[in-house]
Amino acid sequence: MRTVTGSGAVKAYRCPGCDQVIGAGTAHVVVWPAAERGGVGERRHWHSGCWRREADRRAR
């Protein structure tokens, strides 16, 4: 699992955490699974706050 903090989205994405749109220019986090089985993981764009909650949930 890797994350990158985006300084600003260049287009709108939908956050899978809250199902709300991350508007262009909104700082957010890009998350994708560690490369396994040679595949490029599917990137997901999350609000920083939503991802923090999700990461905490997954850690349990």
Distances (CA, A) of 58 to 2, 5, 29, 53: 14, 19, 16, 9
Q: List the interface residues with Zn ion, window 1-60 (CB under 5 A).
A: 15, 17-18, 47, 50
Beta strands of 1-60 (E only): which ranges? 2-6, 13-14, 21-22, 28-32, 44-46
Residue 28 Cβ vs Zn ion, minimum distance, rounded to whole Å? 8
Residue 21 Cβ vs Zn ion, minimum distance, rounded to whole Å? 9
Residue 18 Cβ vs Zn ion, minimum distance, rounded to whole Å? 3
**Applying CB under 5 A, which residues contact Zn ion?**
15, 17-18, 47, 50
